[in-house]
Structure 1
Amino acid sequence: MRHSEWRRFILLVSMWVWVLPTQAADTAPALKPLSDGHRGPFIEGVDTPRAKPGAAASPATISRDVGPLEAKCELSGAQFVQHAPVSGGLEGSPMDDEDCGIGNPVGLQGIGDNETEMVFPGTVLVSCGFAQVVSDWLLEDVAQAALHQMASPLVRVGSGPGYQCRRRNNLPDGKLSEHALGKALDLTHFEFSDGATVSIEEDWGKDTAKGRFLKEIHAAACKRFNTVLGPDADPNHRSHFHLDTGCHGRDCTYLICQ
């Protein structure tokens, strides 16, 4: 090989070696360190949703057992079954909030003594303390008003289920209803031993024996419960009485009677 050709060969090889890594660098993506996205430490129940409890067998069945009984419930003048503490929504409830719950719940079935006995259409799940207030009101006030105004013993009290995990007036947000704490009950009608029925929606405000019966028991309820709402309160209560023992005001002495 001539000297000039040898020099040309060496120059070509040198250019090829210099261009190769440059092209490779242009085509290969640059490596970047993995980023954690500035996330904090993993927290159970926050980074992933809490597991939902299994469905209850029926609306009157407790959906979530949250611990042992707080204390034995002693009720006078009531037929009831004591349950373990509950939390969250029951079967069919659109809401399941762990702020809902009762520490000492009872399934209230009826009220009675040696002379009077009245039942609910279904088991009413409420707190032990609230059940006693309801029992006293029905036995001491409502039973007497039945004899006074209707001249017939009261035998059946139409009511809702008591405990419901929901917000006030079933709104999607806002404060929890006292129903969600087992401290409230809605009543719709009353049935008597002679077959008569008093409906809050149909008989409220009338100058009849039925209307006077409702006025009398409403007034008596305002002396026992912290909140009593009826048809005069707002359209949401045109068909029932809402009774609860929820706290109002700083010292829980503010009462609502409508």
Structure 2
Amino acid sequence: MRALRWWVGSVTIAAIVLAMVLLLFAAVRGRPQDLPWTPLDLGQPIGLMTGRKLAGLTDDFPKCRALLDKAGVRYTVLAPVKYGTCSYADGVRFTPGGSRRTPYSPADLGTSCPVAAALSVWEWNVVQPAARRLLGSPVVAIEHFGSYNCRRIDRSNTWSEHATADAIDIAGFRLASGKRVAISANWKGNGPEATFLHEVRNGACRLFSTTLSPEYNAAHRDHLHLDQATRGEFGWRACR
């Protein structure tokens, strides 16, 4: 019994110390999203816990929509898809205007609400700042290969996150200068285009449960796979 009390006391003290460290860290950086107990706000700078909180939206469509509304993101709700494993009931499609200014091509993107929320934060905090700093021009369109796709992961029996619209494949970016930066053509090298692509990949790793790039395998040689699987909320995350 004494050993149990010692263990419980030690864990309690460690938790208090950790909470104090997190509070101090968040106060110094001025980023409330560093703290696990603060409400998610898509308009705030990315913090240590932003990615976990975004993954937690997978089972709460009303909350996800409320966060998009608060952030000024314009969207329409998609009709639910019911097709066995390939089903979803939290789909949204970006519409023009609002706080998001970057369209997706082809067509404006339809995907799950948690992916849409993460994409919005990614655009504001990662993509546009990196494009202006490294390429001298803002992004005017993000090209993609789609979100919902009733299929399994390549050469496996495991269903892809695309089967529930919880993933998107990003192919490239078009700039206001007229330049196109594509994963397939610009990933390798030391130039500003490659640096930009690697930076937006690294930024996505902070927001999505899974981020896969050409460094993962040949199947991803021409796109970034970004998904917001539920498992990401509980600690399993991949960044390659």
The counterpart of 1:83, out of the listed 78, 87, 105, is 78
Q: TM-score, normalised by structure 2?
A: 0.67
Residues 232 and 109 of structure 1: CA distance in aligned 2, closer, same or farther (over 3 Å)? farther
Shift of 1:239: 0.5
> Do the aligned partners of 1:184 and 1:243 also contact (CA within 8 Å) in 2?
yes
Distance 1:111 1:235, change over 3 A: farther
Structure 1 CA distance, aligned partners of 2:119 and 2:178?
Answer: 23
Cα contact 1:185–1:244 (8 A) shared by 2: yes
Higher relative contact order (CA 8 A, sep 6+): 2
**Corresponding position of 1:253:** 235
Q: State the Cα distance separating 1:226 from its structure 2 match.
A: 1.1
**Equivalent-residue separation in structure 1 for 2:199 and 2:158 (angstroms):** 31
Counterpart residue number, 2:185: 202
Aligned length: 175
Indicate if the aligned counterparts of 1:204 and 1:214 stay in contact, CA closer than 8 A.
Answer: yes
Q: How far is 1:84 from its partner?
A: 2.5
Instruction: Look up the match of 2:202.
Output: 219
Work out the CA distance in 2 between the residues paired with 1:199 and 1:112: 26
The corresponding residue for 1:103 is 89
TM-score w.r.t. the length of structure 1 is 0.63
SS in 2 for 1:118: coil
Q: Distance in 2 between matches of 1:140 and 1:110?
A: 19
Structure-1 separation of matches of 2:223 and 2:211: 10
Q: Distance in 1 between matches of 2:96 and 2:162?
A: 19
3-state DSSP of counterpart to 1:236: helix
Residue of structure 2 equivalent to 1:124: 109
Considering only aligned residues, what root-mean-square deviation do their CA atoms show, in Å?
Answer: 2.1
Residue 182 and residue 240 in structure 1: after superposition, are their counterparts in 2 closer, same or farther (change >3 A)? Answer: same
Write the distance in 2 (CA, Å) between the matches of 1:111 and 1:237. 31
Amino acid across the alignment from 1:128: C
Following superposition, the deviation at residue 199 of structure 1 comes to: 0.8
The share of aligned pairs that are identical, in percent, is 30
**C-alpha distance in structure 2 between counterparts of 1:135 and 1:257, whole Å:** 19
- Return the alpha-carbon distance in structure 2 between the equivalents of residues 128 and 138 of structure 1: 15
> Which blocks of at least 5 consecutive residues in structure 1 are unaligned?
1-69, 89-97
Partners of 2:114 and 2:228 within 8 A in 1: no
Radius of gyration: which is bigger?
1
Mapped partners of 2:164, 2:121: distance in 1: 20
Please show how residues 92-171 of structure 1 align to structure 2 within 5 Å: 98-109=84-95, 113=99, 117-121=101-105, 122-169=107-154, 171=155
Structure 2 unaligned residues grouped into runs of 5+: 1-60
